């Protein structure tokens, strides 16, 4: 079985053409990217509003309940409802994107909401004490502090969407799911296993790229690069530490004998 998978993956004929691996990867990324952009455009503003204002927490609970909806069953239901009303290829694209958006919204919304609500209240009070308005506190304090959890939610949603986008092939769309559906139809298990392996590798590569983005945009004070009273410089070997000035020690007064 392993030899069959390797032979299928290393065959140059499987990598080229309209039905080759490279073309299927591009299609897979297209569906995933469209779905993630739409989900982020919905979930991030809602999460920011709910976390900052404290109103509408029910929206987070409702979004989390969507995790229990079976994606494949919902895909068939939506495609049967939308399909007869649209004559173009959008009859297949819209149901797939809609299902993936519903899958991506809960982790992004939860990550954004949790990141905003878990900001240290002392930081908010200090910002208000400096004269910042509510929007300024959100922009300069809450959002920077919420970035680690927000981006973690985006990464989680990305992994789920890339892994689940294979179901688009069940309603005649492309993507890496085609290798699973087509392989099952002809009992080509090497093709099915190879397609599944490609999905897993693609998800890990994209997640690694997002991890690098998260590492570059999040403040060092939130990533552990700032330790105690010493600032670690990651550009120097071993992480050079620059001491942070502290208050001078208070000398004890000599007691008169």
Distance of CA 67 to the CA centre of its chain: 15
- Cα distance between residue 114 and residue 50, in whole Å: 10
Among the ranges given (11-20, 83-92, 152-161, 198-207), the one the predictor scored with the smallest mean pLDDT: 83-92
For the chain, the residue count is 257
For residues 105 and 139, the answer to whether their CB atoms sit within 8 Å is no
The confidence score (pLDDT) of residue 88 equals 76
Q: Parse the chain into domains and list their residue ranges.
A: 2-228
Instruction: Return the closest-CA partner of residue 216 out of 153, 147, 149.
Output: 147
The confidence score (pLDDT) of residue 54 equals 84
For residues 173 and 91, the answer to whether their CB atoms sit within 8 Å is no
- What CATH number does domain 2-228 carry, 3.40.50.1370, 1.10.3720.10, 1.10.10.10, 3.40.50.740? 1.10.3720.10
Classified as helix, coil or strand, 242 is: strand
- Cα distance between residue 47 and residue 109, in whole Å: 5
127-150: average pLDDT: 85
66-87: average pLDDT: 85
69-92: average pLDDT: 84
Q: Which has more confidence, 110 or 132?
A: 110
Distance of CA 238 to the CA centre of its chain: 31
**To which H or E segment does residue 206 belong?**
helix 189-217
Position 170 confidence tier, pLDDT thresholds 50, 70, 90:
confident
The confidence score (pLDDT) of residue 89 equals 76
Q: Which has more confidence, 98 or 2?
A: 98
Q: Is the per-residue pLDDT at 165 higher than 80?
A: yes
DSSP code, position 84: G
């Amino acid at each position: 079985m392993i030899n069959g998978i390797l032979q299928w993956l290393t065959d140059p004929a499987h990598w080229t053409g309209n039905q080759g691996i490279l073309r299927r990867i591009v299609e897979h990324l297209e569906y995933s990217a469209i779905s993630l952009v739409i989900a982020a455009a919905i979930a991030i503003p809602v999460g920011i509003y709910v976390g900052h204002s404290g109103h509408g927490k029910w929206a987070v609970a409702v979004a989390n309940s969507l995790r229990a909806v079976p994606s494949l069953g919902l895909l068939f239901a939506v495609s049967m409802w939308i399909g007869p009303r649209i004559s173009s290829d959008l009859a297949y694209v819209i149901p797939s994107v809609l299902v993936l958006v519903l899958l991506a919204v809960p982790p992004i919304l939860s990550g954004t909401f949790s990141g905003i609500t878990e900001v240290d209240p002392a930081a908010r009070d200090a910002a208000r004490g400096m004269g910042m308005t509510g929007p300024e506190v959100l922009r300069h304090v809450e959002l920077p502090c919420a970035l680690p959890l927000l981006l973690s939610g985006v990464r989680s949603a990305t992994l789920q969407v890339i892994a689940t986008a294979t179901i688009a092939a069940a309603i005649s769309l492309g993507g890496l799911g085609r290798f699973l559906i087509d392989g099952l139809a002809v009992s080509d298990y090497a093709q099915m296993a190879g397609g599944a392996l490609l999905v897993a590798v693609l998800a890990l590569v994209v997640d690694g790229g997002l991890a690098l983005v998260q590492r570059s945009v999040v403040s060092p004070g939130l990533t552990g690069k700032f330790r105690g009273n010493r600032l670690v410089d990651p550009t120097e070997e071993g992480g050079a530490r620059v001491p942070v000035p502290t208050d001078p020690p208070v000398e004890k007064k000599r007691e008169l004998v």
